[in-house]
Amino acid sequence: DIVMTQSPHSLAVSLGERATINCKSSQSVLYTSNNKNYLAWYQQKPGQPPKLLIYWASTRKSGVPDRFSGSGSGTDFTLTISSLQAEDVAVYYCHQYYSTPWTFGQGTKVEIK
């Protein structure tokens, strides 16, 4: 199984400041035949289901604010919120869909400082 490890477990950021979440996979999720990283990011607010933010490691889903961006390749990935807003308070999960069983990181809780 591919183990997804996120860091930090939680972080507190001031409004308008940058938040950075890291995700490391135990093996590469880059499919060389199409040069795509099978890595997604989700946002989950309390009492709500997860919501897809980023797929293919760096493609923002339609309607997601452009302050959210994803980067990385192979085994190391980053989700960046460029200017934290109050509505961004949530838990964020990375997810690999490269191979079964599909696995998620343990989540990173983002709060306002």
Partner 1 sequence: QVQLVESGGGVVQPGRSLRLSCAASGSTFSSYGMHWVRQAPGKGLEWVALIYSDGSKKYYGDSVKGRFTISRDNSKNTLFLQMNRLRVEDTAVYYCASDSSTHGNGAFDMWGQGTMVIVSS
Q: From 10-18, 34-42, 64-72, 80-88, give the range in contact with partner 1 by CB under 8 A.
A: 34-42
Q: Which of 28, 64, 74, 97 binds partner 1 (CB under 8 A)?
A: 97
Site for partner 1 in 49-78 (CB under 8 A): 49-52, 55-56, 61
For the bound state, the minimum distance from the C-beta of residue 79 to partner 1, rounded and expressed in Å, comes to 14
Q: Is 91 helix (H, G, I), strand (E, B) or coil?
A: strand
Q: Rounded CA gap, 99 and 12, in Å?
A: 33
Q: Which two tokens stand for residue 97?
A: 């869909």
Stretch that binds partner 1, among 16-24, 41-49, 64-72, 75-83 (CB under 8 A): 41-49
Assign residue 88 a region (left: φ > 0; alpha: ψ between -120 and 50; beta: otherwise). Answer: alpha
Give least dist CB 17 to partner 1, A: 26
Could you tell me if 25 and 105 are in contact, meaning their C-beta atoms sit under 8 angstroms apart?
A: no
